[in-house]
Amino acid sequence: QVRLVESGGDSVESGGSLRLSCAASGDRYRRENMGWFRQAPGKEREGVASITSTSRDRSISNYADSVKGRFTISQDNAKNTLYLQMTDLRPEDTAMYYCAARPGMSLRQALEPDSYTDWGQGTQVTVSS
């Protein structure tokens, strides 16, 4: 079983920055792949960024085109925490942001919500123009 708790969401102006955190606990093998997803009202949930632990000291990150160069995903294994640093925020980034995890080291479908097995409750990010 995996528990994921997001925090850090807030209301900011366009061009601002935020850092989201996701505290993870539970079976480590179920958390080898982790990602951030978002869902805006009336829209489907979409992948934002993912990180896959390929070995003890290496990981591979993947980003949606809409956030490349602005968002950075990282993890602190000692703290069991996943982060999403968001810069140059835009009104279209407004959404509920979710942390998710899945087992395995595959990079396939890394940004596909349906491929993830465990989810947090979400944290709201609102960007005003």
115-129, pLDDT tens digit by residue? 999 999 999 999 999
Q: Can you tell me the distance from the alpha carbon of 105 to that of 42, in angstroms, rounded to the nearest whole number?
A: 32
pLDDT band at 94 (very low <50, low <70, confident <90, very high): very high
Q: What per-residue confidence (pLDDT) applies to 104?
A: 83
Name every residue whose Cβ is closer than 8 Å to that of residue 66 and which is 6 or more positions away in sequence. Answer: 92
pLDDT of residue 41 exceeding 80: yes
Q: What per-residue confidence (pLDDT) applies to 107?
A: 84
pLDDT band at 84 (very low <50, low <70, confident <90, very high): very high
Q: Can you tell me the distance from the alpha carbon of 114 to that of 102, in angstroms, rounded to the nearest whole number?
A: 10
Q: Do the Cβ atoms of 51 and 35 come closer than 8 Å?
A: yes
Task: Give the residue among 86, 85, 103 at the shortest CA–CA distance from 24.
Answer: 103
What mean pLDDT is predicted for residues 13-35?
A: 94
pLDDT band at 50 (very low <50, low <70, confident <90, very high): very high
pLDDT band at 63 (very low <50, low <70, confident <90, very high): very high
